[in-house]
C-alpha cells in the first residue's frame, strides 16, 4: 500500500528518484524492524509488562532505568528489590505500589492504569518461605490484567488443606495455576493431578544440604510424572507472566 503511494508520487513527479528510493529503503528497514523490534513494543504486543531486575544494579542506575521505563510505558514492575532500594525508589517516585513482600513493587505515573480483563490465575504456595517469590508472580499477573486467587502455605505435609480447598479451586476455574515450592518441590505434581488447568511449577530457593537452593525442587518438577511445565528457580516474574499470557488469551476468547 505505502509502497504503491511512493511509486505513484514518483511517477507523478512529486518526489524525485533519490527521495523515492530513500523512502522505500526506510520502509524496508521498518519491515526489518517489524520482525525484530521485539523489545520496544514488547509490552504492547504481548501484554508482558516492562520489568526491571533491581538485584545487581546500583541504586542510581536502577532509578534511572525505572524512570525511563516508567516514562515510556506509564508503569514498570521492579523485581528483587531490597528494602534499602525500595526506600530509595519510594523517596524518588510519587506513585509506587508494593505487595506484602518488600521484594517487588510497581512504579507508575499516576495516570496509566493497570490492564484489566486478563483472565484468572491461581497462586498456590507450599510454605511461608515461598510467599515472597509467589508475590512477585502474582503482581506480574495482576499487571497483565489478571484477577488472582491465592492459596498460601499448603505444605507437602498438608495435602488435606489442598484437598479441602480443591472444590473452591475447581469452582474458581482458573485459566492457569502457578505453584511455588521449595525443598522437594512436589506440590505442583499434586496440584496437576487435581485440576486440569495448565500448572506452572515455580521452584523456590529454600532448603539446605544436598539439593539446596531449590535444586531438588527444580529436578523434582522436571522429573514429575504429572503434566506440568517449569520455570527457573525463584523466577516469579516469568511464572506470573507466563500464566497471565495463557489467561489473557482465554479471557479474550471468552469475551468474543
Per CB under 8 A, contacts with a copy of itself among 137-176 are: 155-161, 163-164, 166, 175
Cell of 33: 524492524
Query: Is residue 234 a contact residue for a copy of itself (CB under 8 A)?
Result: yes
Query: Is residue 241 a contact residue for a copy of itself (CB under 8 A)?
Result: yes
Query: Is residue 233 a contact residue for a copy of itself (CB under 8 A)?
Result: yes
Query: Is residue 81 a contact residue for a copy of itself (CB under 8 A)?
Result: no
Dihedral angle, C-alpha 146, 46, 232, 139, nearest 10 °: -30
Q: Give whichever of 87 and 222 is closer to a copy of itself, judged by the CB atom.
A: 222
Q: Look at the block and give the residue holding cell 521505563.
A: 69
Please report, as residue ranges, which positions from 185 to 204 form the binding site for a copy of itself (by CB under 8 A): 185-186, 189-190, 193-194, 196-198, 200, 203
Please state the closest distance from residue 33 (CB atom) to a copy of itself, in A.
Answer: 5
Q: Please tell me the distance from the alpha carbon of residue 220 to that of residue 89, in angstroms, as a whole number.
A: 37
Where helices occur in 114-184 by DSSP H, the ranges are: 131-143, 159-164, 166-172
Regarding beta strands 95-98 and 104-108, do their DSSP bridges make them parallel or antiparallel, or are they unpaired? Answer: antiparallel
Query: Is residue 118 a contact residue for a copy of itself (CB under 8 A)?
Result: no
Query: Is residue 228 a contact residue for a copy of itself (CB under 8 A)?
Result: yes
Please report, as residue ranges, which positions from 42 to 71 form the binding site for a copy of itself (by CB under 8 A): 42, 45-48, 55-57, 61, 65
Work out whether the CA dihedral 146, 92, 238, 101 comes out positive or negative.
negative
CB 62 within 8 A of CB 85: yes
Please state the closest distance from residue 54 (CB atom) to a copy of itself, in A.
Answer: 11
Amino acid at each position: 500500500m505505502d509502497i504503491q503511494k511512493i511509486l505513484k508520487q514518483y511517477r507523478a513527479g512529486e518526489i524525485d528518484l533519490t527521495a523515492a528510493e530513500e523512502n522505500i529503503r526506510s520502509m524496508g528497514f521498518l519491515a526489518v524492524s517489524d520482525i525484530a523490534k521485539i523489545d520496544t513494543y514488547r509490552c504492547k504486543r504481548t501484554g508482558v509488562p516492562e520489568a526491571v531486575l533491581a538485584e545487581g544494579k546500583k541504586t542510581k542506575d536502577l532509578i534511572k532505568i525505572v524512570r525511563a521505563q516508567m516514562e515510556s510505558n506509564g508503569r514498570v514492575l521492579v523485581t528483587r528489590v531490597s528494602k534499602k532500594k525500595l526506600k530509595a525508589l519510594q523517596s524518588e517516585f510519587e506513585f509506587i505500589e508494593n505487595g506484602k513482600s518488600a521484594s517487588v513493587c510497581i512504579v507508575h505515573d499516576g495516570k496509566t492504569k493497570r490492564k484489566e480483563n486478563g483472565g484468572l490465575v491461581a497462586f498456590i504456595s507450599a510454605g511461608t518461605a515461598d510467599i515472597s517469590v509467589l508475590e512477585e508472580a502474582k503482581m506480574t499477573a495482576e499487571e497483565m490484567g489478571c484477577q488472582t486467587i491465592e492459596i498460601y502455605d499448603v505444605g507437602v505435609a498438608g495435602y488435606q488443606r489442598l484437598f479441602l480447598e480443591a472444590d473452591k479451586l475447581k469452582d474458581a476455574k482458573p485459566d492457569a495455576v502457578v505453584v511455588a515450592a521449595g525443598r522437594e518441590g512436589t506440590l505442583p505434581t499434586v496440584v496437576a493431578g487435581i485440576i486440569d488447568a495448565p500448572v506452572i511449577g515455580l521452584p523456590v530457593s529454600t532448603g539446605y544440604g544436598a539439593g539446596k537452593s531449590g535444586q531438588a525442587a527444580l529436578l523434582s518438577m522436571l522429573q514429575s510424572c504429572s503434566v506440568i511445565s517449569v520455570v527457573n528457580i525463584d523466577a516469579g516474574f516469568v511464572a506470573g507472566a507466563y500464566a497471565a499470557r495463557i489467561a489473557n488469551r482465554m479471557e479474550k476468547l471468552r469475551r468474543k
